[in-house]
Amino acid sequence: MSTRGLLLILSSPSGAGKSTMARRLIAKNPTMQFSVSATTRPAREGEQEGREYFFRSQSEFDRMVADSEMLEYATVFENSYGSPRAPVLEAMNEGRDVIFDVDWQGGQQIRASDLSEHVVSVFLLPPSIAELERRLKTRGQDSAETVARRMAQARSEISHWPEYDYVLVNEDPDRCEAELSLIIEAERLRPLRQLGLVDKVRGLNDEFDAR
């Protein structure tokens, strides 16, 4: 039987590996895709509409929020970001899993939406705070000030781990990926995601009646 796609929320403090895990899962699962966000910031060189982001004016973004077309949204450094509902629903109904690389606030909004029964949420913890800081410094993407700010935010972000369905410690990336894959496979077998299951059971009951 075919299955309905699930909505996988991956959250963690910055540097704990949620983006890396999302990319690794998508690379090995052809039916899995990122949720492409909408944003009001201008497109950067090389970015394409619908690939990196859906680029929208502030007025259009605000209209989408008012019309409940966003599963989650937030304002970051004076620009708005959000997850449009329509492409997520289309992918899910076609049997494709959608990954959301979001913080705990975005996760809360998605879990509170009308698609909540299809959500599987996973929080990734670092093996230690010292290792978290080391990863932030060695990836070379942030200034010392930015690393300090991310470290200051990490404690608050980690405090939200009880809100998630699953919590994994990302000490060994290969093991963490394997554990995530097991979670996804198990969640795909839940009755609500098995299309045609009701008809299958009815057919079995019809066989009993015909004996």
The reported pLDDT for the residue numbered 173 is: 94
Residues with Cβ within 8 Å of 169's Cβ and at least 6 positions away in sequence, in order, are 124, 125, 126, 127, 176
For the domain covering 7-35+96-210, report its CATH number.
3.40.50.300
Predicted pLDDT of residue 1: 64
Give the gyration radius of the chain's Cα atoms.
19
pLDDT of residue 6: 94
Which residue in 176, 173, 133 sits closest to 15, CA to CA?
133
| pLDDT tens figures, 1-12 | 678 899 999 999
**Beta carbons of 115 and 88 less than 8 angstroms apart:** yes
pLDDT of residue 39: 94
Q: In what order do the strands lie in the sheet with 79-84?
A: 53-55, 37-39, 79-84, 70-76
At residue 102, what are phi and psi to the nearest 5 degrees?
-130, 165
Spell out the per-residue pLDDT of the chain, length 211, in tens. Answer: 678 899 999 999 988 989 899 999 999 998 899 999 999 999 988 989 988 899 999 999 999 999 999 999 988 778 999 999 999 999 998 889 999 988 899 999 999 998 999 999 999 999 999 999 999 988 876 788 888 988 999 999 999 999 999 999 999 999 999 999 999 999 999 998 898 999 999 999 999 999 9
Dist CA 23 CA 19 (whole Å) = 6
